[in-house]
Amino acid sequence: MKDVFIGIPKDTGIVVDESKAKISVLDAAKIPYVNATENLDEEIFNVKITPTNDTLYAVRDAYRERIDVQGCRTDLFWRVTGIATAGISPLVPEDITYTLTCTKLSPTYPKVVAGGSDDIVGLNTSNVLKWDGFSNFTDFVLTEQGDTLISAGSSLDSFLEPDNFHGIKMYDEPYARDVFDTFRSIGVGTIGVGAAATTNFMTILAPSSTMDIEVGYLMTSQPSGFFASGTVSVTGVGTTTADLSSFPFTGVTTTTSVVPLITLSELPVGIISAPGPTGEFTEMLFTQDPTTISDNYAVNQSDSPYVNQTIEIMNLSRCGAGVSIKYDNSGISSGTREWNKFLDGFPNPDDLDGPDITEPPLGADKIYYPIGFLSAPVTGGSLASEGATLTITGDIIVGTAGYQTISTSCNDTALNAALAARNTAESALAVDTDLTGMINTSNLVKQKISDEFNLRIWAYRMQIGESIKRLSSYVDWENLMENSPYANVMNRE
Q: What is the mean pLDDT of residues 478-482?
A: 62
Decide if pLDDT at 424 tops 70. yes
User: Residue 349: pLDDT band by 50, 70, 90 thresholds?
Assistant: confident
pLDDT tens-digit profile of 183-229? 999 999 999 999 999 999 999 999 999 999 999 999 999 999 999 99
- C-alpha 41/C-alpha 39 separation (Å) is 5
- C-alpha 325/C-alpha 162 separation (Å) is 25
Three-state secondary structure call for residue 470: helix
Decide if pLDDT at 122 tops 70. no
Decide if pLDDT at 362 tops 80. yes
User: Residue 324: pLDDT band by 50, 70, 90 thresholds?
Assistant: very high
Among 176-180, 247-251, 470-474, the minimum mean pLDDT is found in 470-474
Three-state secondary structure call for residue 451: helix
Among 22-31, 104-113, 215-224, 474-483, the minimum mean pLDDT is found in 474-483
The total number of residues written for the chain in this structure? 493
What are the two backbone dihedrals, phi and then psi, of residue 23, each rounded to the nearest 5 degrees? -60, -45
Omega within 30 of 0 (cis) for the link into 275: yes
**Could you give the C-alpha distances from 296 to 30, 309, 461, in angstroms and in order?**
22, 22, 9
What are the two backbone dihedrals, phi and then psi, of residue 40, each rounded to the nearest 5 degrees? -65, -45
What is the crossing angle of helices 31-43 and 433-449, to 10°? 160
Cβ atoms of residues 147 and 114 within 8 Å: no
Among 86-100, 371-385, 430-444, the minimum mean pLDDT is found in 86-100
What are the two backbone dihedrals, phi and then psi, of residue 25, each rounded to the nearest 5 degrees? -75, -45
Q: Where are the domains of the chain?
A: 2-49+433-490, 58-166+367-411, 168-177+302-366, 183-287
- C-alpha 385/C-alpha 490 separation (Å) is 87
User: Residue 482: pLDDT band by 50, 70, 90 thresholds?
Assistant: low
pLDDT tens-digit profile of 460-476? 999 999 888 877 665 55
- C-alpha 376/C-alpha 392 separation (Å) is 18
Q: What is the mean pLDDT of residues 27-47?
A: 96
Task: Supply angle C-alpha 416, 417, 422, rounded to 5.
Answer: 95
Residue 456's contacts (CB-CB under 8 Å, 6 or more residues apart) are 22, 26
Q: Model pTM?
A: 0.83
**Cβ atoms within 10 A of the Cβ of 6, count?**
10
- C-alpha 55/C-alpha 91 separation (Å) is 51
- C-alpha 437/C-alpha 455 separation (Å) is 26
Adjacent-strand bridge partners of 310: 172, 338
Decide if pLDDT at 163 tops 60. yes
Q: Which amino acid is at 306?
A: Y
- C-alpha 133/C-alpha 384 separation (Å) is 14
pLDDT tens-digit profile of 375-405? 999 988 889 999 999 888 765 554 456 899 9
What are the two backbone dihedrals, phi and then psi, of residue 429, each rounded to the nearest 5 degrees? -65, -35
- C-alpha 77/C-alpha 158 separation (Å) is 14
- C-alpha 132/C-alpha 37 separation (Å) is 55
**Cβ atoms within 10 A of the Cβ of 144, count?**
12
Q: DSSP string covering 28-89, please?
A: HHTHHHHHHHHHHHHHIIIIIIHHHHHHHHHHHHHHHHIIIII-S-B-EEEEEEEEEE-SS-
Q: What is the mean pLDDT of residues 130-141?
A: 87
Strand 167-172 relative to strand 309-313, pairing: antiparallel
Q: What is the mean pLDDT of residues 112-118?
A: 56
Three-state secondary structure call for residue 479: helix
Cβ atoms of residues 149 and 142 within 8 Å: yes
Decide if pLDDT at 366 tops 60. yes
Q: Of 315, 283, 311, 325, which Cα lies nearest the Cα of 31?
A: 283
Helix/strand/coil percentages in the chain, nearest 5: 35, 25, 40
Q: Which amino acid is at 391?
A: T
Query: What is the average pLDDT value for the chain, to the nearest integer?
Result: 89
User: Residue 250: pLDDT band by 50, 70, 90 thresholds?
Assistant: confident
DSSP symbol at 167 = E
- Strands, DSSP E only, in 178-245? 183-190, 202-204, 218-222, 231-242
* HSE toward the beta carbon, residue 410, CA cutoff 13 A: 21
Burial class (CB in 10 A: 0-12, 13-18, 19+), 266: middle
Among 25-29, 120-124, 441-445, the minimum mean pLDDT is found in 120-124
pLDDT tens-digit profile of 253-270? 888 999 999 999 999 999
- C-alpha 449/C-alpha 433 separation (Å) is 24
User: Residue 490: pLDDT band by 50, 70, 90 thresholds?
Assistant: low
- C-alpha 84/C-alpha 117 separation (Å) is 8
- C-alpha 371/C-alpha 65 separation (Å) is 11
Strand 167-172 relative to strand 382-383, pairing: unpaired
Adjacent-strand bridge partners of 309: 339
Q: What is the mean pLDDT of residues 454-459?
A: 96
Q: What is the mean pLDDT of residues 296-303?
A: 91
